[in-house]
């Protein structure tokens, strides 16, 4: 009989899972930590205690009910980091509306697909962010909103959408002002908020987050209260969070990193959440840490690099920092060491997961040995199971690589309205197949060593080549295209495309990028484009992207960065 230890780990904990809704978690925080800082949004000059936040959320929830929205219906949010995002996150949860996170970088075709895929009845939008004019883009899809009363949209291209709520100060045709929603609350709808609370179940679907698909358009990962309340709580435990902590959150709210590992981690521990800006700016982050005496900081490696290299870094008081999370992309070992030493984050942790698992499955501890914190993603989270399997689905021995599979409370309900794609990812045993290649050592520490699929991770954003390829195939001149990732010092990976044009056609890189601009998110637009006559192929006719990647890396003088 073999004595080989299998690559299976289970997170054992004396702390039980919490069977509560997001609304319950906020109300509990308001009761226990009512007068303590809950949320600080520096760019909007907003500061609320937990008691004030809970009151504001209840009013917004009552206002949303006055628009005719009902539990179980979907409401999108398309906005950078603002107080309206946090209020909407909690208010929708209190009345059982399913919040649909829309990436602020999405463009017209992506937005239209997302809203229709989950049949959003309403959407909260910012007016603009950086170069994105959200109002103009939405009007391009639904021009009918220019001539309709707020809440009465009847759009040919967005047949399910009825209400648009805009955070702009001024009133816009066909749209509610976010600031006016509270005023729409009545005694009746306030009573309904309380009544609905008694009907909600922690296992109810409450959030849909779109993840890019390997075979086409994004899929809507559907998460429950139970999924994300517990994940946020145990992420905080790993950082030894308490009500004395103050977390700086420069990561986006539309992503699990912001709304779960940020907002819900703070809420379940009574800690303060500090938002330094609408989007990431290293100077704003440094100022926020110093001014608010933040004890923790989240970010992807590129964010930490930007902070470390900022001209004001040496002049900024970071002595209050203790911990935080670096996640979203492979962490360069030297960057991790600098963060620990130069940013005073001796207890910084590394986390690994995916949207479909709420998101964190592995996290290092604040007291893990230094070599483990810079070279692995830590050990399995409490109440989570993980196994590493070979191509035949058999569990491999410790130290051998294979596909990482996760099972437990954190696994999503599925992809919204896509049972076949759900079945492709979650097997009959309840295991979520991540597509990531990993190794688990004899002590249970996990190292992510690659990807079964050819997903690109650019600065924390998951980019699936197939999605970009499908879009580029729409170009009249393109015969064939292959998209893949190449090493990039700043973003970890950059998007590259090899394009084969139709006979007799000509094009240049600028034309291809212009074709993408405004239609797909900026981080998906290829940074490197080459026009070729043929692709490297196997004898069975499969494109060899690894050959293309190696060729491009050599041509560009790039080396794969040494990463944790």
Residue 40 within any structural domain of the chain: yes
Residue 475 within any structural domain of the chain: yes
Last residue of a domain, one of 389, 404, 426: 389
Residue 436 within any structural domain of the chain: no
> Residue 528 is part of which domain span?
456-556
Q: What tens digit of pLDDT does each residue of 191-216 get? A: 999 999 999 999 999 999 998 654 46
Q: How many domains does the chain have?
A: 2
**81/204 same-domain check:** yes
Residue 315 within any structural domain of the chain: yes
Q: What pTM was estimated for this model as a whole?
A: 0.85
Residue 379 within any structural domain of the chain: yes
Q: Alpha-carbon distance 298 to 42, whole Å?
A: 16
Question: Quick one: pLDDT at residue 291?
Answer: 98
Last residue of a domain, one of 332, 354, 389: 389
Question: Quick one: pLDDT at residue 464?
Answer: 77
Last residue of a domain, one of 335, 359, 389: 389
Q: What tens digit of pLDDT does each residue of 210-241 get? A: 986 544 678 999 999 999 999 999 999 999 99
Q: Alpha-carbon distance 209 to 227, whole Å?
A: 13
CATH at 237: 3.40.50.12780
Q: List strands edge to edge, sheet with 205-213.
A: 176-177, 163-166, 120-125, 74-78, 98-101, 205-213, 216-224, 414-415
**97/210 same-domain check:** yes
Question: Which pLDDT tens digits describe the chain residue by residue (564 residues)?
Answer: 356 899 999 999 999 999 999 999 999 999 999 999 999 999 999 999 999 999 999 999 999 999 999 999 999 999 999 999 999 999 999 999 999 999 998 999 999 999 999 999 999 999 999 889 999 999 999 999 999 999 999 999 999 999 999 999 999 999 999 999 999 999 999 999 999 999 999 999 999 999 865 446 789 999 999 999 999 999 999 999 999 999 999 999 999 999 999 999 999 999 999 999 999 999 999 999 999 999 999 998 889 989 999 999 999 999 999 999 999 876 777 788 899 999 999 999 999 999 999 999 999 999 998 888 888 999 999 999 999 999 899 999 999 989 999 999 999 999 999 999 999 999 999 999 998 889 999 999 999 876 676 778 888 887 878 789 889 988 999 988 889 999 998 898 999 999 999 889 999 999 999 999 999 999 999 999 999 998 887 554 557 788 898 899 999 988 643 333
CATH at 528: 3.30.300.30
Question: Residue 61: which residues within 8 A CB-CB, separation 6 or more?
Answer: 91, 92, 94, 95, 193
Q: List strands edge to edge, sheet with 528-531.
A: 478-488, 492-501, 528-531
């Amino acid at each position: 009989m073999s004595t080989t230890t299998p690559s299976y780990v289970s997170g054992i904990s004396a702390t039980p899972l919490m069977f509560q809704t997001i609304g319950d978690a906020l109300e509990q925080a308001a009761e226990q930590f009512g007068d303590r800082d809950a949320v600080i949004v520096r760019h909007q000059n907003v500061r609320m205690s937990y008691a004030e936040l809970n009151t504001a959320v209840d009013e917004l929830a009552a206002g949303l009910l006055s628009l005719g929205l009902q539990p179980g219906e979907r409401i999108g949010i398309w906005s950078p980091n603002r107080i309206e995002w946090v209020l909407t996150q909690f208010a929708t949860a209190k009345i059982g509306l399913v919040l649909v996170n829309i990436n602020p970088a999405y463009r017209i075709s992506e937005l239209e697909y997302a809203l229709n895929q989950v049949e959003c009845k309403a959407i909260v939008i910012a007016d603009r962010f950086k170069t994105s004019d959200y109002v103009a883009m939405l009007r391009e899809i639904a021009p009918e909103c220019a001539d309709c009363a707020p809440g009465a949209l009847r759009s040919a291209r967005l047949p399910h959408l009825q209400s648009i709520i805009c955070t702009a100060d001024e009133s816009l045709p066909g749209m509610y002002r976010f600031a006016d929603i509270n005023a729409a609350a009545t005694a009746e709808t306030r009573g309904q908020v309380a009544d609905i609370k008694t009907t909600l179940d922690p296992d109810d679907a409450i959030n849909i987050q779109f993840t890019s698909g390997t075979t086409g358009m994004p899929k809507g990962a559907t998460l429950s209260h139970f999924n994300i309340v517990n994940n946020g709580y145990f992420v905080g435990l790993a950082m030894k969070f308490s009500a004395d902590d103050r977390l700086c959150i420069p990561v986006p709210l539309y992503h699990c990193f912001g709304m779960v590992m940020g907002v819900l981690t703070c809420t379940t521990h009574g800690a303060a959440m500090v938002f330094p800006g609408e989007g990431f700016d290293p100077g704003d982050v440094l100022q926020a840490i110093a001014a608010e005496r933040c004890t923790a900081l989240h970010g992807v490696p590129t964010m930490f690099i930007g902070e470390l290299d900022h001209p004001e870094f040496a002049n900024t008081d970071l002595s209050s920092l203790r911990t935080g999370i670096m996640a979203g992309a492979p962490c360069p070992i030297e960057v991790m060491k600098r963060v620990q030493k130069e940013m005073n984050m001796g207890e910084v942790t590394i986390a690994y997961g995916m949207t479909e698992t709420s998101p964190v499955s592995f996290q290092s501890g604040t007291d893990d040995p230094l070599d483990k914190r810079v070279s692995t993603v830590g050990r399995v989270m409490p109440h989570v199971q993980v196994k590493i399997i070979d191509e035949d689905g058999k569990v491999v021995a410790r130290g051998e690589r294979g596909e990482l599979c996760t099972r437990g409370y954190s696994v999503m309900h599925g992809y919204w309205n896509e049972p076949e794609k759900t079945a492709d990812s979650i097997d009959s045993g309840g295991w979520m197949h991540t597509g990531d290649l990993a190794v688990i050592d004899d002590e249970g520490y996990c190292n992510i060593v690659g990807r079964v699929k050819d997903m690109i991770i650019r600065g924390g954003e998951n980019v699936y080549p197939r999605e970009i390829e499908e879009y580029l195939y729409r170009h009249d001149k393109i015969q064939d295209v292959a998209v893949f990732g190449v090493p990039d010092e700043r973003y970890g990976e950059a998007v590259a495309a090899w394009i084969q044009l139709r006979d007799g056609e000509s094009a240049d890189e600028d034309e291809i990028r212009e074709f993408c601009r405004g239609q797909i998110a900026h981080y998906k637009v290829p940074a490197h484009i080459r026009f070729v006559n043929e692709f490297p192929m196997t004898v069975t006719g499969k494109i060899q992207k690894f050959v293309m990647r190696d060729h491009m890396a050599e041509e560009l003088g790039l080396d794969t960065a040494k990463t944790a």
